[in-house]
Amino acid sequence: MSTASEYVAAIQAQQRAVRHATSLPLAVNGLAMLFLTYAEATLRWFLLPQALVPALTYALLFVSMLIQRRVTGVGAGNDRYGLIALALLALLFVPFGLVAVFFVGPVFFLGLGLVVLGWRGRDAWLWGPGLFLMALGPLVSLGTLSNHASFLGGGVGGMVIGTLGVLALAIVAFVRERRASGAVSA
């Protein structure tokens, strides 16, 4: 390292890797997408469980980071998972909040959470998939994929592709973080 700022940046990158600040949000969002794919296939018009998924996903992420902090001693950082969970839960209680979930879909709000985390952490591995999910959400919930891309399997096929993509990125990010979590030389 030639300068102190480069050293601090390397330490910050190493701490984000140790916390799994990229792979854990992607994995938890991938699991939420797995549930939403199941719900899209079976519970088509039963909206309440689907509407709660984004808030519960980021609440689970917040709790998992607290547990990780207890076990490993590495803190949750300044990502504000709990604040995102509360904001997504509050969305359901504002006027037209539940209608927004119906029109743009819960996948949109999962993506919005990833975009916020990626923006705060300056991590394209989070905001890139987040933008993809924000685009996928309305296409699935409004039936656009079923009408114009039925060769993908309609909305369920689009959800499967999105879920597999997010889970694959989570695995690649985990491997990348394991390599980057080594010691930083001064």
Helix (H, G, I), strand (E, B) or coil at 79: coil
Kindly report, residue by residue over 66-119, the tens digit of the pLDDT.
887 787 766 656 666 777 888 888 877 787 777 888 889 899 999 999 998 888
Question: What letter does residue 20 receive in the DSSP assignment?
Answer: T
The more confident residue out of 179 and 149 is: 179
Instruction: Give me the pLDDT at residue 72, please.
Output: 72
Handedness of CA 129, 132, 137, 140 (dihedral sign): negative
- Contact criterion met (CB below 8 Å) for 129 and 28: no
Copy the structure tokens of residue 163.
Answer: 């879920």
Type of residue found at 80: R
- This prediction has a pTM of 0.85
